Structure 1
Amino acid sequence: MPTRDDGKLAPRFQGALSLVPLSVDKAHSCLGDLKAAADAEGLERLSAWLSAAAPDKNRQRLGAALSLSPHLEGLALRSPRWLEQLFDEEPKARIAALIASLQAPLPDDATEAGLMAELRQVRNEASFLIALDDLFGAATPLETTRHLSQLAEAAVARALRFCLSDLHRRGSLRLPNPARPEEGSGLFVLGMGKLGGEELNYSSDIDLIVLFEPEAEAVLDPPESVELFSRLARRLVKMIGERTRDGYVFRTDLRLRPDPSAMPLAVPVPTALVYYEGSGRDWERAAMIKARPIAGDAAAASAFMRDIAPFVWRRYLDFVAIGDIHAMKMRIDRHRGFESILVAGQNVKLGRGGIREIEFFAQAQQLIAGGRNPALRLRRTDEALARLGQEGWIEGTTAEELTEAYWFLRRVEHAIQMVADEQSHTLPETTEELTRIAKLCNFETLEAFSQALTRRLETVEARFSSLFADHAPARSQEGATALLSDAEDEAALHWLSQLGYRRPADVGRIVQGWGAGRYRATRSEAAREQLVRVLPSLLEAFGKGQDPDNALAGFDRFLQGLPSGLQFFSLIASNPRLLELLALAITAAPRLADTISLRPHVFDALLDPAFYREIPTRELLRQRLSAFLRDAQFLEERLARLRIFASEQRFLVGIRLLAGAIEGEAAGAAFTALADVVLEVLVEAVEAEFRRAHGRVPGGRLVVLGLGRLGSGELTASSDVDLMLLYDHDPAAETSDGDRPLPVSTYYTRLTQRLIAALTSPMADGVLYEVDFRLRPSGNKGPLATHIDAFRKYQREAWTWERMALTRSRVLSGETDFAGEIRQAIREAIESHAQDPLLRYDVADMRARLDMQKPPRGTLDLKRLAGGLTDLEFIAQWAILTGTVPLDLIGQPTEQVLRELARRLPDHADADGLPAAMADFTRIVQLVRLGPGTAFNVSDLPAGLADRLARSLDLADQSGIEPHIADLAERVRAAFSALIPFEGVGDDKLPRS
């Protein structure tokens, strides 16, 4: 005797949830009516199962489901064969088979009426089975929404294929591949909203946008294509959305297309792109987050999604968008019509704490951060919340709470819609109907359901309300606003005094000038509106400093140079935590303030929670630069973008340093990594452009060498770059092989000139890097580019200072084999002089001459300071030149060389403290280079920068900085004298330095 498990004597329902019927009598009645329908159609297995005397859990669950959902009851009675089918097939397998049937090729004799009937029959059966899986717990809400989305996608694709094929048969289109009508048609459909995110409700409308390429291969008459494809779109909507005796497939909405009141139903891609780029609004950006091609020409759809990405995911946050997002939130609040959270009559989508608030919570932050962080560009709400948590934009517990609430509310939403297949999101008012919903959600009592629902709605509302909370105290707002129009308002001036301003009247006059629109940044009404919002926090932030009056005056100068204030004020209004850092940057680090003035959007990177813990490595910078240059085709455009990229990234490293997220050692590595990546791309771009005009030198090979701070990986925010260009070629080569050939030496000289011009030509964002080629053989007297043989020959007789420079050399770009030859040539040049008896005297003599010729201008002038950076660098270079440390340390940071030196001289006590001294001096010089270029003493530094310097050195306050430097310098000079002793300057026996 076969058991029920063999699938022949019972339907193969899955899931473990037990439904409670609306009433036992109603459930029995539903099963009785279903048996009668089964008998009428001769469905013997279903009839026998329904009439069996033995208790059956699945039969009870089915009766409960039909008693709770008149819609499901109607479907079952109309088509009991769907349940008969489950004796042989599990619901999930049947759902998959139904969706797959819509993906099969269209029959040659397909008609519109026949296809419409097929689509409706498939939809009805699939949605019936999807509902049972949902109610019985065989599918999670995620699986339910995905199945519904796959069903809608397959239905739209099938109807579209029919429409395209019919136009081809009529001669209105010429499809490249009639067997696959969508290929090359130029027409495609975007699924928007929940369809795009694969999150469809049980009775959702589907939001579609129909787009096409008017120049596609299939289009016979481009001027008529708008009318042709709009008729197709109208037909598609009818086939999917029209209600017939078989019902409908999905209600369809095309109103999310660009400018729906003016645009045709099918929109040409060029028209859509022009609209989005010129007139697109932030709600349309939010809508496009979920946009997904679901039917039609995949290649055309992919190209459109690539082209629309910059509109949706702005690389630089449009700070005004934050205000627009806030305004969107307020519109939702005004129109949802709920003053409090209830259960009866609650709209679980638009009401307080509802689904829309969770979606908005995720999308708002995706819009803010997704341009800089592609990992956040996710369509599904649950995936977006999870990633926001992983990336640190929201707390992990917040992501978990909102995700759990989201799926709970989606389950409630499905239950509401299963009752009568209506697109409703509102809970009923009566106790009886509310109880129906509670039981559809597998709650035994209405009380338990109400408590669970209320708890989640309150959680969502609290999280949502805090998203754009305005924390400015009312009194502060009043005082600040008064100053904008009246510089002598007594209450406002008293408030300024309380904040710490010593000259409130002067501050009042400055603020009144902003309100009067004296600067470009405050001329527009929109900018002044944002200024009003941020002014209290701004004045309070500057008031916390040691010298609030001068700090605000510095900000006034910054504001005077700002070309536009709207985006800037919007940013800091929405992110008060940035104000303190902004105040420090503007008052303490003029170089950083200059960058903010020129490109205020650079500040948006600071919104990313990962920013402060992220160290910009070469690989990370390469990835970002590659993305930034992706669509820059011409050299000038690439150069312009390189300047922007370098400027912004230098700023971001500087801000990390100023904020204390990194110290000087890490900053040097980061500034160097940036230069490496930029120079690597620049050399490649300049060389490629040069070759287009002049061709290649036969056998030509090129290496760009970095020297100085660039070579040793210790660049600062203001460093120039020391470069040397070396080349080689076939011995027989005389000229290049291009349209305009050049002699070999001229070729590489001009190429070097082009490289220098690309680096130093001033553009809107300034120069890329100041360049120094004076460390090449023969300095300014020698050729700009040096042949490898000439380099080797020169180094055999090179001055000591030139070999010292080579100890800080490093290959930046060039062919691997040639780079290896250059490194070997440098090692040989250094090794050949290791036993030079005058080497120690040359090094000491050079240091002594510098002491006399370039005395320090103050304690912070570490390069000239006796016992300062130059002493440490000379010691490290001497150690390499003499072989005291391995030649593998060529091109390594000075601190690393000194550390190895101390390890190899364990009995030389003077060497022990050198690495630590270098570390401290590095921290000092990196921070000082952020400040004014004339700061040679601590008293010259802005107070905030001096405080940061003291913290970096682990000192109690800034008064200890100069004594600390003096102590370090004394010990370094003592070590120098012990390691490289020399007395006297200008000895007749020492002419070589």
Structure 2
Amino acid sequence: MVAGGESGSLLAEVKACTIWPLNKTEAKAAQAVLKELCRAEPELAAPLGEEAVNDFLTAALSLSPFLRETLTLAPHLLLSAWREPLPALLAARVEAARQSWRQGEGESPASEAEVMARLRLTKRDVAFLLALADLGRVHDARTTTLWLSRLADAAIAAAIDHLLVQGAQAGKLELQDLDDPSRGSGLVVLGMGKLGARELNYSSDIDLVVFFDPLAGRLKAPEDASETYGRMMRRLIRILQDRTGHGYVFRTDLRLRPDPGSTPLAIPVEAALIYYEGRGQNWERAAFIKARPVAGDIAAGEAFLKELQPFIYRRYLDYAAIADIHSIKRQIHVHKGHGAIAVKGHNVKLGRGGIREIEFFAQTQQLIAGGRMPDLRLRATEAALAGLQAAGWIDAETAEELTEAYWFLRDVEHRIQMVRDEQSHVLPSTEAELKRIALMMGFEGVAGFSAALEKRLRTVERRYAQLFEHEEGLSVDGNLVFTGQKDDPDTLRTLAKLGFARPEDMSRVIRTWHYGRYRATQSVEARERLTELTPRLLQTFGKSRRADEALLRFDQFLSGLPAGIQLFSLLSNNPPLLDLLVDVMAAAPRLADIIAARPHVFDGMLDPRLMAEVPTRDYLSARLQSFLSGARLYEDILDRLRIFAAEQRFLIGIRLLTGVIAGASAGRAFTDLADLVIAEAFEAVRRELAAAHGQIAGGRVALVGMGKLGSRELTAGSDVDLILLYEHDDESDESDGAKPLDAVRYYTRFTQRLIAALSAPTAEGVLYEVDMRLRPSGNKGPVATRLKAFRRYQQEEAWTWEHMALTRARLIAGDRGLIAEAEAIIADILGLKRDVGKVKADVREMRALIEAEKPARNLWDFKLMAGGLIDLEFMAQTLRLTDARPVRMGLTTAEALASLGTGRTRADDLDLVCRALHLYTELSQLIRTSIDGDFETEAAPAGLTDRLLKLADCPDMKALEGEIRQMSRAVRRVFQGLVVG
């Protein structure tokens, strides 16, 4: 073979090549065509009279209907192939294509129809000549692809020049030079993929992306730029790909532009740079490795690519890209016929061991190392493999094997396409048609061709697998591919094996992450970090009893995040924090729902001191004051309080979930938080009311916390029981503001506003649900109570159960003097000498009433069950009401039992009830933090049940339930002994 045909014409060079006709019938048909050509062009008699030339052409025309049809339409092509040297012949045709936009008939510019016809005829000529040269081994695949790429460059450039001139003639554009329209136009046309690498095949699409520089000053109406250039690009597609009587030039695809579903065909340069910087994906980085300016303003195109280099090639070794790029290739295998190596029906481009694997082998490593090794920034595949070898990235044997296989497969691809000029990469599935390809490749039959092809495919598959076998991002046993529109069957099997019940739904969810549809995944860096995390996330989620729900909570969390790079980078470098996040999603649905609905609460988890600092009152107070600093407006203060409370409740729950704090400590922390937040809301309401209505002479207000708020035992979802007390001068009739109110209405309004401030739903949520039924006369009494009336009611009208409730009262906000007075009144009430028998009888009656009206829902209803929290609280309250000794306010139930029970109950019984209270508190705090609603053993997240078992030191849930039953029976026995005696 003489490469390039430099020693003579094409037909002179094919003498050295032997190919065989498809069969005798096809050979006779080819001979008939050749004889007809001799009659039409007598000069062809000389070359066709040479046996070697005649045999070659007979075989070629029998194997390729496309060649036979073309020669019938244009016999002069064979004459040119005999007369002229091939390089000069091809160069002339390419130049003719490049100049096709110039003068038409007469003196007028070429019309669009003329440009289209010229380009199509030129493409036909070049394709015919190259096919003959390829079959005759005058050219190798390298030269063939180069000439096809040169032709495409010329055709695109000519079409662009034509369109720019047309735009100038229509008054849309002002060009620097009508004889060189593209120069300085600011219109950037980049060839991508095989066109960019100058590796086009016979029937390639040409992938283009088009940008324009609005500052180039060529448009007379810059505001119409997108419309003007978009219309121009639609015409470009028509010029190049519409089929006419002369065929087509190249199918043209502009879908590699940014976000093609929602962007115009031509995009401003600045907008494109912003997109790639913020949202560009790894597959786009891979595509731009081959990008090359092919038409329009070449200088502007080079400048654009230079500016894009930091996006394509990262400064540091970028191993994160490898999983993403690999997943693109593996996703291709979803399509039918790409699953295994074969010959019949195998896709030599996309199938296993095919051309795409060689391209990705090179491109992936270019992405990883190209930032630090500029010598690897090469467009062509063979050059990239050589560069990787020179850099020591791959060995010489690998480079040689892959290069040889690449061009062998490209030869096969070309022959598939030159049969009928069809865009296909799939080998025939029948023996007869496969024989055609084998013969075109120079093999005598299918067997030899099949063996040679399979050898290359297996070589490529082996080398490709070696590249990814140690890939950190895919440590899961099986595929995890989430690129593309369709599910990868192997990935679905992997997800099912990991523990997901609905793998198709989960695959669809995860694909959403990679499309950049969430704000948190719009940046390429964020997606890369998330790609790294995905296998570990899925493995950990899969261990949950309901992995699908946990993953969906994580997806909801992602959808609400304002940004992701900081979080994903942190999780990448902080495995314990990643484990914590997954634990939350898998073990604590309530916390997961909070994160999903209000992602800002997660910000607190980014504090590295989170697990080192216990949330004491001083700790919370300092952070609250800092958070409120600068807030002056009433609504702003309330919103900040809601944000702060939500975040800190969440973080207390996180500490509880992870065992950093115990249940009792969590109760105190939840209470300290409520105290601080309610006090701030109280003060904000007081100032707001005074601004509108003034003040009452001698007016003072105090807030009493009751129930679990009073005893410092709040849980994550507790409401708050409050009583508002006030006092004022007897002589004051009304407030002194612009809108005066009498005292009763004033403090009623105060209470109503406070309730609204705490419990009204807003965009930032609710602070606390408020319950005021423990005020004097309950729901029938006024919402605000004057201190004098409070004293009188407690002394003269209150029932035993109301005094029981008063044992947990604690003043949490308000005027210091009024607080002191209220505390003294409460101490006096609780210190009254009572009829012990009546108290116990009332307690028994009240407990029986509760059991009748609100029976326990199940064993896990620690509050209502017999021998549960109510029994323990009633015991502490009974001890308090029947003991005249002074006791400080605000004791927890455990503190009250320990303080009051000593000497009044048996030591063993006291130890028992304290142990039971501890168990109930630990379990209920964790459950209330982790889930909403009732706890059901079978429905509980596996992570939560594991933690409950650890807390109780039980081997399984059956043992824990047995422990609870035994403990509750013992508590009920002690309770009955106390209240009956």
* Normalised TM-score (structure 2): 0.50
Higher alpha-carbon deviation: 561-570 or 808-817: 561-570
1:938 partner letter: T
Q: State the Cα distance separating 1:868 from its structure 2 match.
A: 0.4
Equivalent residue, structure 1, for 2:843 = 843
2:695 partner letter: R
Q: State the Cα distance separating 1:715 from its structure 2 match.
A: 0.3
* Structure 2 Cα separation of the partners of residues 475 and 937 of structure 1: 36
Alpha-carbon distance change, 549 to 699 in structure 1, aligned in 2, over 3 angstroms? closer
Equivalent residue, structure 2, for 1:707 = 706
* Structure 1 Cα separation of the partners of residues 975 and 767 of structure 2: 36
2:706 partner letter: L
Map 1:477-876 onto structure 2 (within 5 A): 482-485=481-484, 488-493=487-492, 495-496=494-495, 499-501=498-500, 504=503, 507-515=506-514, 528-556=527-555, 559=558, 569-796=568-795, 797-832=797-832, 834-835=834-835, 837-876=837-876
2:752 partner letter: Q
* 3-state SS in 2 of match to 1:812: strand
Equivalent residue, structure 2, for 1:915 = 914
Q: Deviations over 1:508-557 (max 9, x none)?
A: 34434544567776677665444323212211221343454453355445
- Does the 8 Å contact 1:499/1:540 carry over to 2? yes
1:545 partner letter: S
* 3-state SS in 1 of match to 2:722: strand
Equivalent residue, structure 2, for 1:250 = none
* Structure 2 Cα separation of the partners of residues 590 and 791 of structure 1: 42
Alpha-carbon distance change, 508 to 337 in structure 1, aligned in 2, over 3 angstroms? closer
Map 1:197-216 onto structure 2 (within 5 A): none
- Greater radius of gyration (CA): 2
- Does the 8 Å contact 1:775/1:805 carry over to 2? yes
Equivalent residue, structure 2, for 1:938 = 937
Q: State the Cα distance separating 1:731 from its structure 2 match.
A: 1.9
* Structure 2 Cα separation of the partners of residues 938 and 687 of structure 1: 46
- Does the 8 Å contact 2:519/2:563 carry over to 1? yes
1:897 partner letter: A
Q: State the Cα distance separating 1:960 from its structure 2 match.
A: 2.2
Q: State the Cα distance separating 1:501 from its structure 2 match.
A: 4.7
Map 1:115-194 onto structure 2 (within 5 A): none
Q: State the Cα distance separating 1:962 from its structure 2 match.
A: 1.2
Q: Deviations over 1:717-771 (max 9, x none)?
A: 0000000010111121111122222111111111111111111111112111000
Map 1:212-227 onto structure 2 (within 5 A): none
Equivalent residue, structure 2, for 1:299 = none
Alpha-carbon distance change, 784 to 709 in structure 1, aligned in 2, over 3 angstroms? same
* Structure 2 Cα separation of the partners of residues 705 and 941 of structure 1: 37
Q: State the Cα distance separating 1:572 from its structure 2 match.
A: 3.3
1:596 partner letter: I
Map 1:436-447 onto structure 2 (within 5 A): none
* Structure 2 Cα separation of the partners of residues 636 and 808 of structure 1: 32
Q: State the Cα distance separating 1:849 from its structure 2 match.
A: 1.5
- Does the 8 Å contact 1:704/1:811 carry over to 2? yes
Q: State the Cα distance separating 1:472 from its structure 2 match.
A: 7.6
* 3-state SS in 1 of match to 2:676: helix
* Structure 2 Cα separation of the partners of residues 338 and 620 of structure 1: 52
Alpha-carbon distance change, 472 to 733 in structure 1, aligned in 2, over 3 angstroms? farther
Q: State the Cα distance separating 1:954 from its structure 2 match.
A: 2.1
* Structure 2 Cα separation of the partners of residues 813 and 474 of structure 1: 54
* Structure 2 Cα separation of the partners of residues 513 and 879 of structure 1: 60
2:850 partner letter: L
Equivalent residue, structure 1, for 2:970 = 971
Q: State the Cα distance separating 1:872 from its structure 2 match.
A: 0.4
Equivalent residue, structure 1, for 2:269 = none
2:709 partner letter: L
* 3-state SS in 1 of match to 2:726: strand
* Structure 1 Cα separation of the partners of residues 475 and 371 of structure 2: 31
2:843 partner letter: V
- Does the 8 Å contact 1:595/1:648 carry over to 2? no
Map 1:979-990 onto structure 2 (within 5 A): 979-981=978-980
Q: State the Cα distance separating 1:787 from its structure 2 match.
A: 0.7
- Does the 8 Å contact 2:498/2:542 carry over to 1? yes
Map 1:215-614 onto structure 2 (within 5 A): 473-476=472-475, 482-485=481-484, 488-493=487-492, 495-496=494-495, 499-501=498-500, 504=503, 507-515=506-514, 528-556=527-555, 559=558, 569-614=568-613
- Does the 8 Å contact 1:621/1:674 carry over to 2? yes
1:840 partner letter: K
Alpha-carbon distance change, 831 to 479 in structure 1, aligned in 2, over 3 angstroms? same
1:946 partner letter: T
2:615 partner letter: P
Q: State the Cα distance separating 1:476 from its structure 2 match.
A: 3.4
* Structure 2 Cα separation of the partners of residues 560 and 609 of structure 1: 24
1:784 partner letter: V
- Does the 8 Å contact 1:520/1:562 carry over to 2? yes
* Structure 1 Cα separation of the partners of residues 887 and 652 of structure 2: 28
Higher alpha-carbon deviation: 633-642 or 734-743: 734-743
* 3-state SS in 1 of match to 2:980: coil
Alpha-carbon distance change, 336 to 626 in structure 1, aligned in 2, over 3 angstroms? farther
- Does the 8 Å contact 1:694/1:742 carry over to 2? yes
* Structure 1 Cα separation of the partners of residues 768 and 504 of structure 2: 43
Q: State the Cα distance separating 1:949 from its structure 2 match.
A: 1.2
Q: State the Cα distance separating 1:565 from its structure 2 match.
A: 5.6
* Structure 1 Cα separation of the partners of residues 627 and 616 of structure 2: 16
Equivalent residue, structure 1, for 2:877 = 877
- Does the 8 Å contact 2:547/2:586 carry over to 1? no
Equivalent residue, structure 1, for 2:265 = none
- Does the 8 Å contact 2:706/2:722 carry over to 1? yes
- Does the 8 Å contact 1:669/1:715 carry over to 2? yes
* Structure 1 Cα separation of the partners of residues 759 and 501 of structure 2: 44
* Structure 2 Cα separation of the partners of residues 784 and 567 of structure 1: 48
- Does the 8 Å contact 1:481/1:532 carry over to 2? no
Equivalent residue, structure 1, for 2:950 = 951
* Structure 2 Cα separation of the partners of residues 479 and 528 of structure 1: 21
2:620 partner letter: L
* Structure 2 Cα separation of the partners of residues 497 and 908 of structure 1: 55
* 3-state SS in 1 of match to 2:482: helix
Higher alpha-carbon deviation: 572-581 or 751-760: 572-581
* Structure 2 Cα separation of the partners of residues 789 and 499 of structure 1: 67
- Does the 8 Å contact 1:530/1:569 carry over to 2? yes
* Structure 2 Cα separation of the partners of residues 328 and 632 of structure 1: 43
* 3-state SS in 2 of match to 1:724: strand
> Aligned residue pairs: how many?
531
Q: State the Cα distance separating 1:883 from its structure 2 match.
A: 0.9
* Structure 2 Cα separation of the partners of residues 757 and 547 of structure 1: 38
- Does the 8 Å contact 2:698/2:727 carry over to 1? yes
* 3-state SS in 2 of match to 1:740: coil
2:853 partner letter: Q
Q: State the Cα distance separating 1:964 from its structure 2 match.
A: 1.4
Q: State the Cα distance separating 1:607 from its structure 2 match.
A: 3.9
Among all aligned residue pairs of Structure 1 and Structure 2, give the percentage whose two residues are the same amino acid. 46
Q: State the Cα distance separating 1:711 from its structure 2 match.
A: 0.3
* 3-state SS in 1 of match to 2:716: coil
Q: State the Cα distance separating 1:644 from its structure 2 match.
A: 0.1
Q: Deviations over 1:145-176 (max 9, x none)?
A: xxxxxxxxxxxxxxxxxxxxxxxxxxxxxxxx
Alpha-carbon distance change, 591 to 545 in structure 1, aligned in 2, over 3 angstroms? closer
- Does the 8 Å contact 1:697/1:744 carry over to 2? yes
* Structure 1 Cα separation of the partners of residues 549 and 372 of structure 2: 48
Q: State the Cα distance separating 1:669 from its structure 2 match.
A: 0.4
Q: State the Cα distance separating 1:642 from its structure 2 match.
A: 0.3
* Structure 2 Cα separation of the partners of residues 571 and 723 of structure 1: 42
